[in-house]
């Protein structure tokens, strides 16, 4: 009994500490950002330029928010199906020995430093993605998203999104794989015994049971995609403008802009970078909170049925 009370107290203290730490980070960012926000002569949320050390200062996060969200969306569209497919293969289709090898190789990608992904994307992937980007422009250019009026296909948001997708696949795959493995074996065997094919069993048993974990895995991957720094900084041309043509050069993100501008920024510039970091902090916090609400609702639905 005493051991339970001690463990409960330690667990609650750890939870409170994390909440206080998060609150402290938010307060620090807000206080540090105030000087730049006071001096700013432009609209912080709609301006597409970054001149915090000019006289007078004028900067905004519109282009940074667009680049951050767009690269993350591209990464999620590519990484979630691939990561889920890898998890299905390892957990259900592959033989145990082959599954362990594949899982090890995929998980090993998570240990590769971000700068290595950035250099690989810059030196290898970018040149080899020109054909793909040109193909999208040729056949789907009637969609503004894929149109390219510059005939230049390097240093684009699309390429940055592809690299981010490769970077977050291990996270999504590992978490989803562990969730699939936890599916009650009795339910799986019952579905197969009733004549369901393996895919029907996955669709009717594995996916409904694992949906909260799949959402959590996707949100973890999204969190990394939103905050990735060095790889994106190496791949984008850091233009402060909103360009819906994702195969054209340009684009910037919160994290990449902070990494590139920090050493050369003045006092107001540093405060402005912290202000942009505060926005990224709030976006990440909102995404995590939304994920928790979705997971809780899905879990209640699964348990209720």
- CA distance linking residue 285 with residue 275, whole number of Å: 15
Identify the pLDDT of residue 291. Answer: 78
CB 155 within 8 A of CB 235: yes
Q: How confident is the model at residue 50 (pLDDT cuts 50, 70, 90)?
A: very high
Considering only residues 295 and 36, tell me which one the structure prediction assigns the higher pLDDT: 36
Separation of alpha carbons 243 and 246, rounded Å:
7
At 209, list the tokens.
């049971």
121 neighbors 234 (Cβ within 8 angstroms): yes
The answer, yes or no, to whether residue 294 has pLDDT greater than 90, is: no
Q: Which residues contact 14 (CB under 8 A, 6 or more apart)?
A: none
Using CA atoms, how far residue 299 sits from 20, 84, 210, 304, in Å, is 27, 19, 9, 8
296/291 Cα distance (integer angstroms): 8
Tens-digit pLDDT profile for residues 86-109:
999 999 999 989 999 999 999 888
Confidence category of residue 6, pLDDT binned at 50, 70, 90: confident
Using pLDDT thresholds of 50, 70 and 90, give the confidence band for residue 299: low
Cα separation, 160 vs 246, whole angstroms: 10
> For residues 179 and 217, is the Cβ–Cβ distance under 8 A?
yes
> What's the confidence (pLDDT) of residue 110?
86
Task: Give the model's pLDDT for residue 207.
Answer: 92
Stated pTM of the model: 0.91
Q: Which domains does the chain have, with CATH numbers?
A: 2-304 (1.10.3720.10)
Nearest Cα neighbor of 226 from 282, 274, 146, 291 is 282
């Amino acid at each position: 009994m005493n051991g339970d009370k001690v463990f409960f107290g330690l667990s609650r203290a750890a939870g409170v500490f994390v909440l206080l730490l998060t609150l402290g980070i938010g307060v620090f960012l807000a206080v540090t950002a105030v000087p730049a926000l006071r001096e700013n002569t432009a609209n912080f949320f709609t301006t597409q330029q970054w001149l915090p050390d000019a006289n007078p200062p004028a900067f905004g996060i519109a282009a940074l928010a667009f680049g951050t969200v767009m690269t993350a969306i591209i990464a999620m569209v590519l990484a979630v199906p691939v990561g889920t497919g890898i998890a299905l293969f390892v957990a259900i289709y592959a033989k145990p020995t082959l599954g362990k090898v594949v899982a090890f190789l995929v998980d090993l990608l998570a240990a590769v430093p971000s700068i290595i992904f950035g250099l690989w994307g810059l030196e290898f992937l970018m040149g080899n993605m020109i054909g793909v980007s040109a193909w999208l422009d040729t056949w789907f250019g009637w969609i503004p998203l894929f149109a390219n009026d510059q005939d230049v296909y390097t240093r684009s948001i699309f390429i940055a999104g592809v690299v981010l997708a490769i970077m977050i696949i291990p996270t999504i795959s590992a978490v989803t794989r562990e969730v699939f493995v936890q599916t009650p074996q009795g339910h799986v065997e019952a579905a197969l015994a009733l004549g369901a094919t393996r895919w029907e069993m996955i669709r009717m048993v594995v996916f409904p049971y694992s949906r909260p974990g799949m959402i959590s895995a996707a949100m973890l991957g999204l969190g990394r995609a939103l905050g990735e720094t060095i790889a994106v900084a190496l791949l984008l041309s850091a233009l402060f403008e909103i360009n819906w043509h994702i195969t054209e050069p340009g684009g910037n993100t919160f994290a990449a802009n902070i990494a590139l501008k920090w050493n050369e920024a003045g006092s107001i510039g540093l405060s402005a970078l912290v202000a942009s970091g505060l926005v990224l902090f709030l976006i990440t916090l909102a995404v995590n909170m939304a994920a928790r609400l979705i997971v809780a609702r899905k879990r209640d639905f699964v348990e209720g049925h």
